[in-house]
Amino acid sequence: MYRDEDSFTRRMDGPKLFKIENQHSTPVEPSKPAIFLGVQARGNTPMVTVGPKYERKNQFSYNEDRRPEQDGKLLDKFDHFYDDTKVLLILFQIMGVMPIQRGIGTTTFEWTSTATIYAMCLWVAETVVVILVGRERIENTLQPDKPFDEYIYNIIFLCILTPHFLLPIASWRYGGEVAKYKNMWTHYQLRYYRVTGSILEYPNLKRMCIALCIISWLISIGVVVSQFYLQPGFTMWHTSAYYHIIAMLDCLCALWWINCTAIGSASKGLALNLHKALENTESADLLVEYRALWLDLSHMMQQLAKAYANMYGIYCLIMFVTTIIAGYGAFSEILDHGFSLKELGLFVIVAYCTGLLYIICNEADHATRKVGLDFQERLLNVNLAAVNAETKKEVEMFLVSIANNPPVYSLNGYTVINRELLSSNLATMVTYWVVLMQFKLSLIRRGTGNPTATISNLTATIDSS
């Protein structure tokens, strides 16, 4: 996964890219006390590689004295993250979801670019179809003397149409922040090589991106076509408005999965190199650079959440509301008529929305643990008695940095994406289902189907609960 600097430079044409100071391999003496307590050394080699260093004006300053690399071709050579995820970026451009463009070593977003103009034209064309289908749904909803459950079914499919109209506001508006996040990755990988002497790579990430792009559209087609066959009143004409929207939701979920996986891989590689660096009892200067790399990784997590905060916030809200309505509709139909294909179609929607929420929350939780908890455990297992005073101080400052810069995905401060968010959403869903089913049972006992009375009774039931 991580190749050393010598093997890399043999592969590259020309001389070495960086001057490496005092690089050497020092055998670990048998009498030297163990650096780590309760942690087995990774690998079978007893050699300790000290990575290349670059000078910093103030060793306790992380950002203000670090000049960004200006050589775009050099950045491209080390940007494996872009190479592995390029297929997903191209798919987003084709779908008009995020019209960012890649130059030489940099990612940009401009409102007047070709990609953005294409996205606008595509969005306008799709809007015509979405409005026509949505108008039919609204007219069907407003028909008088309809059972309350029929209102529920139309609201489900109207909710799914909502992300299309929010795309320019929630996605394109923050194209500059997304480009900034991509550029942070580009510069991080070059810094990673300069500090550790190894290249940051991501196992199977390219294959995963290609597979997820295909699976996203297959799931979109499968979900929409299943509703055509299972839901009465869902015509083939209506399916044309949903393919792109469902595929967009799937691709956003795939994007989140890919970014969390890449951050986890970067964290794992940094932890392995940190382990090797700490085996040298005089590694205080190098530890400063590792701490800066970790802070960059934590800031990238925060920038990812900032760039997509509105999109994923709306995303989770729509999944939450749709799951509640579809679940209620399925349980209500089972009480009225027993199990049928219609209920199966509603359960497909519930499983789909719940699955997307689970992936978003679970992958975020995994990345947070790898970058935060795993690093803390590794540093807490350092035998401070076996290192000098400067290294001991740097280990302590590293732990303070982790505590003061928690690696979490915060959606503009409204919520933190992790497993706790998933469990709280599921608990809230169950609560609403119980309240709605109590209301449904009261309707059955009273024998009423008037939608106006139904809505007023529902409001009274929720207030009393």
Please check the confidence at residue 31 and state whether its pLDDT lies above 60.
no
Q: Alpha helices of 142-199 — where are they, by DSSP H?
A: 148-170, 175-196
Q: What is the reported pLDDT for 37?
A: 55
Q: Which long-range contacts (CB under 8 A, 24 or more apart) does 341-345 make?
A: 341/229, 341/230, 342/230, 342/231, 342/232, 344/230, 345/226, 345/227, 345/229, 345/230, 345/231
φ, ψ of residue 263 to 5 degrees: the values are -65, -40
Q: Alpha helices of 279-340 — where are they, by DSSP H?
A: 284-307, 309-337
Please check the confidence at residue 124 and state whether its pLDDT lies above 90.
yes
pLDDT band at 8, cuts 50/70/90? Answer: very low
Q: What is the reported pLDDT for 333?
A: 80
Token output for 39: 């942690």
Q: What is the reported pLDDT for 116?
A: 94
Please check the confidence at residue 26 and state whether its pLDDT lies above 60.
no
Please check the confidence at residue 47 and state whether its pLDDT lies above 50.
no
What's the average model confidence in pLDDT over 126-151?
83
Q: Sign (positive/negative) of CA torsion 94, 95, 96, 102?
A: negative
Q: What is the reported pLDDT for 56?
A: 38
Whole-prediction pTM value?
0.79
Q: What is the reported pLDDT for 150?
A: 73
Q: What is the reported pLDDT for 414?
A: 85
Q: What is the reported pLDDT for 95?
A: 94
pLDDT band at 375, cuts 50/70/90? Answer: confident
Task: Supply angle C-alpha 331, 336, 338, rounded to 5.
Answer: 75
Residue 431 — left, alpha, or beta (φ > 0 → left; ψ -120 to 50 → alpha)?
A: alpha
Q: Is residue 3 part of a domain?
A: no
Q: What is the reported pLDDT for 247?
A: 94
Provide, rounded to the nearest whole percent, the portion of the chain with pLDDT above 90. Answer: 40
pLDDT band at 250, cuts 50/70/90? Answer: very high
Q: Domain total for the chain?
A: 1
Q: What is the reported pLDDT for 449?
A: 47
Q: Is residue 43 part of a domain?
A: no
Q: Sign (positive/negative) of CA torsion 368, 369, 371, 377?
A: positive
Which of the pair, 148 or 189, is modelled with greater confidence? Answer: 189
Give the C-alpha separation, 89 to 100, whole Å.
8
Q: What is the reported pLDDT for 10?
A: 37
Please check the confidence at residue 104 and state whether its pLDDT lies above 70.
yes
What's the average model confidence in pLDDT over 372-401?
84
Q: What is the reported pLDDT for 460?
A: 53
Please check the confidence at residue 365 and state whether its pLDDT lies above 60.
yes
Q: What is the reported pLDDT for 186?
A: 92
Q: What is the reported pLDDT for 69?
A: 66
Is 253 buried (19+), middle (13-18) or exposed (0-12) by CB count in 10 A? buried
Please check the confidence at residue 192 and state whether its pLDDT lies above 80.
yes
Provide, rounded to the nearest whole percent, the portion of the chain with pLDDT above 70. Answer: 79
> CB of 198 within 8 A of CB of 4?
yes
Give the C-alpha separation, 392 to 281, whole Å.
10
The pLDDT tens digits of the residues spanning 151-175 come to 777 888 888 999 999 999 989 999 9
What's the average model confidence in pLDDT over 33-47?
44
Q: Is residue 140 part of a domain?
A: no
φ, ψ of residue 314 to 5 degrees: the values are -65, -40
pLDDT band at 406, cuts 50/70/90? Answer: confident
Give the C-alpha separation, 295 to 289, whole Å.
10
Q: Is residue 198 part of a domain?
A: yes
Q: What is the reported pLDDT for 178?
A: 93
Token output for 22: 């005092």
pLDDT band at 233, cuts 50/70/90? Answer: confident
The mean predicted confidence, pLDDT, of the chain is 80
Please check the confidence at residue 451 and state whether its pLDDT lies above 70.
no
Q: What is the reported pLDDT for 70?
A: 66
Q: Is residue 369 part of a domain?
A: yes
What's the average model confidence in pLDDT over 121-129?
95
Q: What is the reported pLDDT for 179?
A: 94
Q: What letter would DSSP give residue 370?
A: I
The pLDDT tens digits of the residues spanning 54-97 come to 333 333 333 444 566 667 788 889 899 999 999 999 999 999 99
The pLDDT tens digits of the residues spanning 434-443 come to 998 888 888 7
Q: Is residue 430 part of a domain?
A: yes
Residue range of the domain that includes 288 = 174-464
Give the C-alpha separation, 130 to 101, whole Å.
27
Give the C-alpha separation, 289 to 376, whole Å.
17
Q: Is residue 303 part of a domain?
A: yes
Q: What is the reported pLDDT for 52?
A: 38
Is 177 buried (19+), middle (13-18) or exposed (0-12) by CB count in 10 A? middle
Q: What is the reported pLDDT for 459?
A: 52
Q: What is the reported pLDDT for 360?
A: 94
Please check the confidence at residue 411 and state whether its pLDDT lies above 50.
yes
> CB of 313 within 8 A of CB of 194?
no
Q: Is residue 437 part of a domain?
A: yes
Buried-state track 218-229, b at ≥16 Cβ within 10 A, e below 16: ebbeebbebbee
Please check the confidence at residue 277 and state whether its pLDDT lies above 90.
no
Token output for 277: 């660096």
